[in-house]
Amino acid sequence: MGLLSAIFGNGKPEENQQEKQTQKNFEILKYDGIRAHNMNQLAYAAKCLEQASALRDDAETLQYLADTYVKLQRTDDARTTLDKLTGLEPDNIQGYLFLANVCFAQEDYDGMDKACQKAIKLDESNAHAYYLAARAAHGLHNDLQAIVMATKAITQDESFLSAYLLRAEVLWSMKQAKETLEDLDYILNANPEEEDALLLKSTVKATLGETDEAYRCLELVMETNPFNEKAYLLKGELLCGQKAYGKAIELYTEALELMPQNATFYQERGRVRLLEGDKNGSLEDLKKAIELNPESESQINGTFDNQDTPSGTQNPASIY
């Protein structure tokens, strides 16, 4: 048989040659696609990887193709590709976690939870799978389950600060101030400059009437990152709550010096100017906000329709 194989080959020459050419084309397309992906040439990467995956069922090609689709904001295509990947490799934990993240981007929390549960079944010690399951549960408004899953993530990895932050956010949505602050303090002991933890702590402290501590947290955020929009908005809310309208206007003016294209700051400064009785200044700011972000007009009208205004002052919603 060895002699016959040497003389005649193991198969038809044309079929062997065609198979070799298909494999060669697949490898060229795959590695050209991966190279383009890594160089951020995403449209070309997608084209190459699509053609490669049409030639061969290959997990690595599908992973790169899904990631390319995500970067192109083609989440439906990414999800279809990941469904194919997990069908090809049903034990691929990373594939399920990737799928869970895509479902999160689509706000499909039920699909996200199903992907997480498959990952957890494959590896009950995977902290990230529990964390994503907690995010899915929170999205499904099952906050008790979210706390359970976040706690399991922390049990598997005590240094998982994102899991502590998520649990704190869920606890605060349930108005559990004491437990929320315990998680936030754990995070801030590990990383004193964690912006999201400081922002949430500021909100909790303000609600508890501890405004000095609330201001301190916001000032730490702004020192670390002067471009954190949420810090300015929260501080502005605190100042307005204390009827310190002049200081709030100064705050938003400073913010606009750093971020002059920020429509939200113009909108908020216009709202505060109205509260102070400056109708012309308010109108100027609100027009600028709409100029920078035309979609904000409906938001502005909705906000100001519900805004208490000083006696005798026209509501800006009626100006437009």
Provide the domain count of the chain: 2
Q: Which of 27, 101, 31, 110 is nearest to 71 (CA)?
A: 101
- The backbone region for 278, taken as left when phi is positive above 0, alpha when psi lies in -120 to 50, beta otherwise, is beta
302 found inside a domain: yes
> Residue 24 burial (CB < 10 Å; 0-12/13-18/19+)?
exposed
- What is the percentage of the chain residues whose pLDDT exceeds 70? 88
37 found inside a domain: no
User: Which tens digit of pLDDT belongs to each residue from 10-35?
Assistant: 556 677 888 889 999 999 999 999 99
Segments forming the whole domain that contains residue 175 = 158-225
Domain boundary (225, 260, 284) is at: 225
211 found inside a domain: yes
Tell me the helix, strand and coil percentages in the chain, rounded to 5.
80, 0, 20
219 found inside a domain: yes
What is residue 295's predicted lDDT score, i.e. its pLDDT?
A: 79
**Residue at token pair 């349930």:** 174
What is residue 6's predicted lDDT score, i.e. its pLDDT?
A: 44
Whether pLDDT at 314 is above 80: no
Does 239 lie in the same domain as 221?
Answer: no
93 found inside a domain: no
Does 253 lie in the same domain as 285?
Answer: yes
User: Which tens digit of pLDDT belongs to each residue from 95-105?
Assistant: 999 999 999 99
**Dihedral angle, C-alpha 182, 186, 187, 189, nearest 10 °:** 130
d(CA 192, CA 302): 37
pTM score, two decimals?
Answer: 0.83
184 found inside a domain: yes
d(CA 158, CA 189): 13
d(CA 258, CA 54): 49
Does 251 lie in the same domain as 211?
Answer: no
277 found inside a domain: yes
Question: In this structure, what CATH number is given to the domain that contains residue 294?
Answer: 1.25.40.10
Confidence bin at 271 (pLDDT 50/70/90): very high
Does 298 lie in the same domain as 217?
Answer: no
User: Which tens digit of pLDDT belongs to each residue from 139-163?
Assistant: 999 999 999 999 999 999 999 999 9
Does 319 lie in the same domain as 243?
Answer: yes
Domain boundary (225, 258, 276) is at: 225
Domain boundary (188, 204, 225) is at: 225
Does 277 lie in the same domain as 202?
Answer: no
249 found inside a domain: yes
User: Which tens digit of pLDDT belongs to each residue from 86-142?
Assistant: 999 999 999 999 999 999 999 999 999 999 999 999 999 999 999 999 999 999 999
Mean pLDDT of the chain: 90
Mean pLDDT of 51-59: 95
Mean pLDDT of 269-298: 91
Mean pLDDT of 202-217: 97
